[in-house]
Structure 1
Amino acid sequence: MLVEITKDSLMNAIQYVIKAVAANSSIPILQGIHIQAGADGVTFTASNTSLTIQSIIAHDDVSLTVKRTGAIVIPSRYFHDIIRKFNGDKVILEIKEPMILSIVSGHSQLRLCGMDPTEFPSIDDGEAFPSTKLRINTSLLRSTIKQLAIVASTSETSPILTGVSLECSNDCLNLIATDGVRLAYRALSLEDAAINSVNVIIPAKNLYELSKMLNKADETTEIEVINNRVNFTTNGLKVESALIEGTFPSIINVIPQSYMCEISVDKACLLKAVECVTVMASAHVIKLVANADTLKLLSKTADVGDIQNEIPILEMCGEEFMISLNGKLFFDILQNMDCTSVRIRYTGKTSPIVVLPDNSLMSSLFLITPVLTR
């Protein structure tokens, strides 16, 4: 292998794939980055078995020249730290002797001991069953994942709830996440209505890592479900995730079908108010009090003090209400909503409140269970 590549392109590729490196794995090869130089370009791959990330730099990219093909797996931590500290604009990667990678940049030269690339787990490994593919706008997928992944549970006591449910039928893609206290739901329309049905559960932590790699450009991401894995492919990046086995809880009876009051408020104002009053909230519990034209937010901590904040209500339909919530969980929902104003529906003292982006046309919905206080 003999490759000449710009430092910027190399660092971009490394920073993508290193998110999937199994740093504490007992299998040494999973602590490395697989480098494959071929006629079509150079591919960098890392895997922790649950998540595999592949960054591809095509041969026609001006930042890359492949003079000789080959492959090797090298320790990720040393490779990342060394390349990051190079001063040169270009980096030469060369295998001059078996399992040794020579790295040259400017006046710096070093050799890294590598591992056998044939022992590295390959993406799409195993006999493939017929797959299901769908395509979605990359920016839309990115915003959707950010809204849902934050709501999934982080407790392994209920593995199903650590995932995001992805259900697809015809031209509609439904995504659901819940931790038992909050619930997020989003429905997306797909341009390709001829696809087969899909019903899988994807680890939320893997989706969150994916969202950080997706850009906001008007591009397309292909999603392919094959065997017990799901692949996301877009613009030189391929991410493969394991799936969670089981049945996701039904939300049919969870979403309130009627409400006693609906208010509309500016999201930025509400976000700041929630963040402010949560600082003084004992166990993060804040109180919302809605009257004719004002939404009051209150909290207190015994022997410390209390706080009150008010924001104007843009619209109100129904009776006044008062309810207590976990401010931190409420803040996380609001922070990831892409809208200028939100609608809050009060459905009863012991029922979840419904939070809707004002521009969603009911394609997005969030629930948060109230905290019962004296």
Structure 2
Amino acid sequence: MNIEEIIKHSNELKPKSHKRFVENLVTLLDQIESSVMLRGPYRLVLDSNIIMRLEDYRQGKINEGVLSILLAFMLIKKLPHHVDLVIRPSVFYEYLRLRNVKSTREHWEKFKELKSIIEDELGSVLFFDGIETYAGAEYYLNLIQDDADKITKTLHSYEQRDWRFNFIQPPGCGFSGIPAKNGEFIIVPPVFAAEGLYKEIELKYFNKHTASRFFIEHIEKRVTECKLNDQQIISRYGTNSKYLLTKVLKLTAKGNLEGLADLDIFSICNVQTQFINQSHGRYVPASIGLSIDSNLANALSFYSSIRLTSPKMGGNEHNIDDNMAEMEAFFHDQSRVKEGEERFKQAIQSSKDFLKELSSKMSAQ
């Protein structure tokens, strides 16, 4: 579908659908722009909802989702960066409707089917992260299923638990806190309470550190929303968080787990973690999460800002060389930020030029 056809179909959308079309396009462009703060090469990691819309398109259904996706890929091809398309095992798992493959033949058929949908509709070669063989797919999908069961069980236990918590605790209670005025007790803010209450879950596929952020935020939300807890302390020491991560990985009204692939994509695609991973010249291709799910998009956006902390200087004369090395590393990180800001400006300009071209063509119709 060319740009004129996309414009034609977008003009035929109902007002609410047209609004979502614009919102989807802005969301996709924002994900692309923010990720070029990282050094390339670039991997575009597709979320399940991208694939679902392309499946609809192949079946002859044209909606606001697929129109925004096709437009976004037109922009991607105009960028001065080579971008590979990648499918993660968790996305393949969701494509299989949350089950494993049972044979080499079934794997090959589903593999070809997914590859055809994306390559034919987007005009780009698709790559897979470890699931290109039956053995690889079976291995990763088994791990994902095991983790999914543990995550579901954990979130169900959070629903049934009593979240009453005393924010005033004695020192050495096992929780971090802020000294109270009398000095005899500490005040434990809700986020510190959540960190102390969280019990690590042994996961085999998903990153345990990243997953813990999701669970801790679920706990913080429940502790904060418990009406029996001290509302004054919650009001004063709460984080005013929108609890973005609880909207990404959650249980549905029917008790089913939702957001497995989103957890995976967030783990490898958030800019903050990747910026650290690319430090000191380490070769780590930048992964760009691409999704029209507003919850995942908002979470990725929130964790896309890069913060540098200058090293602490001091110590005796024997620490001088170490201090200088740390300062040099800090200056190197600063130079990477400046490089990223230039790429970011270029991406913003490319988006503006593309939207200007789009607007001009829409006016002409």
State the TM-score, normalizing by the size of structure 1. Answer: 0.21
Greater relative contact order (Cα 8 A, min sep 6): structure 1 or 2?
Answer: 2
Higher strand share: 1
**Whose Rg is larger?**
1
Higher helix share: 2
